[in-house]
Every structure is written in structure tokens, then in C-alpha cells.
Amino acid sequence: MADTDQTIPEDIQALSFEDALAELETLVQKLESGQVSLEESIDMYTRGTHLKQHCEARLANAQARIEKVVVSGDYLSTEPASID
């Protein structure tokens, strides 16, 4: 996609995962309704692409932070979970 080279706008970067996902769902509903102009559809698609990238980055960050408990003899410790 051509939009993957662009940086995510600051207003989207400031959104929580939940807020970004909610906005993305709203955009999809509007686009599916067919009630928007071509120009508006293109703008909405571009914003939706940035929202999707932001959500994916938030999920990847959350997954990287998940830890698993490791039992070694009588000791418990944590380490990053493997990301497959």
C-alpha cells in the first residue's frame, strides 16, 4: 500500500487502542453505507489505513510487554513471552 510509507498523524498517535479501533469501525460503516463522495471516501480510507497501522503497533507493543513466568528449581522469574 502506498500509505505505509507515511508517518501516522499525531492526532492518531495520541489515541488509545480502543479509541482508534472505535473510530476505524465508524469509518468502515460510513464507507460501507455508500453515502460518501469519492473524495471523502479516499480521505476516510487514508485515515483508516493510519488507524489500522496505529492499532497494529499498539497490539505489537502490548504483546512484547507480556511476560511469562519461568520456574527454575525453587525460584520464579519472568521473561518476555515468545512472539510467534
Which residue in the block uniquely carries the three cell numbers 525453587? 74
The domain in which residue 61 lies consists of: 2-80
CB atoms within 10 A of CB 50: 20
Side chain identity, residue 61: N
Element at 68 (helix H, strand E): strand 67-72
- Whole-prediction pTM value? 0.73
Total of domains in the chain: 1
Whether the pLDDT of residue 3 is over 80: the answer is: no
Predicted confidence band of residue 54 (pLDDT cuts 50, 70, 90):
very high
57, burial (CB in 10 Å: exposed 0-12, middle 13-18, buried 19+): middle
Q: What is the CATH number of the domain that holds 61?
A: 1.10.287
Decide if 67 contacts 77 (C-beta within 8 A).
no
Write out pLDDT tens, residues 55-67. Answer: 999 998 887 777 6
Write out pLDDT tens, residues 7-47. Answer: 999 999 999 999 999 999 999 999 999 999 999 999 999 99
pLDDT recorded at residue 22: 98
